[in-house]
Amino acid sequence: MTRTAHPAPHTATVAVGESGGTGSLVALSSRLGQGLRRADRARPWVLNVAVVALVVSVFCVPDLLHGIDAGDEAGRFRLTSAHLPVIEMLALQAGLVLPLLWRRRRPALAFGVIAAVFFLQWFVGAALRADIALFVALYGVALRARTPQLLWACGITAGALVPAAVRVSGVLSVWVSLFFLLSTATAAVALGLTVRIRRAQLAGLRDRAARLETERDQRSRLAAAAERARVARDMHDVVGHNLAVVVTLADVGLRADAAGRQPGPEVLRSIADAGRQALGELRRVLGILGEPARDEGPGLMLQPRLADLGALCEGVRAVGLNVVHRTVGSVDGVDGKVQLTAYRIAQEALINALQHAGPGARVKLVVVASGSRLVIRVRDGGPPDGESRRRARQEGHGLAGMRELAARCGGRLDAGPAGNGWAVEAVLQIP
């Protein structure tokens, strides 16, 4: 019989437990570090006092209690710390340790005071354990001071360590002593620079994250503004066209009623058809806006194209506008965005002709597809009553919207008086 080996469940449990324990320790240390940093930002004097208290308890108190054995170490090192009065020893220790209280606010000043006391101490031949304060101050300069100040501090430290190395030459050679002292100073500088670079990197990452968040919010606001503008254009195109038809037909009915004639049923029927068409297109636009992003593509397929210009012209003819429509070239392969833009420009131009030239005016609509260009020309002959004056047409939202649509397709739009009427020509680039 063949036996199938199964992994021991105990091993997997142990691995998971070890991983979970490590993750818990990392999370705990991270939270602890964040808490300490917050506390330090709130009360920075606590850490300064704590550092001074630590140096005093570890390095100053032993000198005060025991000094240096005069029979042994004082003779070998040729030092006089054992013979220093307590007052002088306290003064030197205070000069070495107390400047550490402002090592973070004024690192260069604190280092200068400590270095001066260090020189004085070794000049009189005293050796104190509180000399560690010089390296702590040097670490602070490397961490917070400017680069020229750090260079000066390194030079001063190297010069201050020479008499110390000479004083202990009875036990170690000058070069060995100087090597160890300079190594300690180098370690302090390297540690300060490492922490400084790390903090700069973290600050840079925080600034970059804040900048990216701001840029994301700005992009969101710009996208929302662009979407609102697009919706406004769509609503203007959808509702404005049909409302213009309804208003024109209502004016026709009012004129017929004022003349003592009943408006024909075709007028009322056209008003109802235009209203139903407006409601249908409005529901379609609102439906597309309410669809999820994954359904946006199929929804956009409902947008009108150049093939729908015939139906548009039929609807305008029902109002009384005499429209002649002609298409030159093949428009089937034109990009959908360009076709939608051309349709909206033609629609807006026909509405302008209906509003300014009035029912009965003759309008010519020509669409020409040639190479990489699509040209839309709409020209009306002016009011049909034969008045020769040019109807003033101000630069309103319609012409501005058509120019914006043409610019989005890399084209241009020209509009102006032509005889007694008005002409609009748009040239769009075909991708």
Selection from 368, 391, 366, 376 nearest residue 345 by Cα: 376
Give per-residue pLDDT as tens, 274-310.
777 777 777 776 776 665 544 444 444 457 788 888 8
Q: Would the pLDDT of 186 be above 70?
A: yes
Q: What's this model's pTM, rounded to 2 decimal places? A: 0.48
Q: Are 338 and 296 in contact (CB under 8 A)?
A: no
Q: What is the CA radius of gyration of the chain?
A: 44
The number of angstroms, rounded, from the C-alpha of 181 to the middle of its chain's C-alpha atoms is 49
**What confidence score (pLDDT) does residue 348 get?**
84
For the chain, report the end-to-end CA distance as a whole number of angstroms.
72
Return the residue matching tokens 């300069």: 141
Selection from 177, 179, 109 nearest residue 137 by Cα: 109
Rounded Cα–Cα distance for residues 346 and 108 (Å):
75
Q: Would the pLDDT of 24 be above 80?
A: no
Q: Would the pLDDT of 19 be above 60?
A: no
Q: Are 316 and 354 in contact (CB under 8 A)?
A: yes
The secondary structure of residue 56, as a DSSP letter, is I
- In the predicted model, what is the mean pLDDT of the chain? 76
User: What's the average model confidence in pLDDT over 139-156?
Assistant: 89
User: What's the average model confidence in pLDDT over 147-152?
Assistant: 89
Helices vs strands, H then E, count in the chain: 14, 5
Q: Would the pLDDT of 16 be above 60?
A: no
Q: Would the pLDDT of 81 be above 80?
A: no
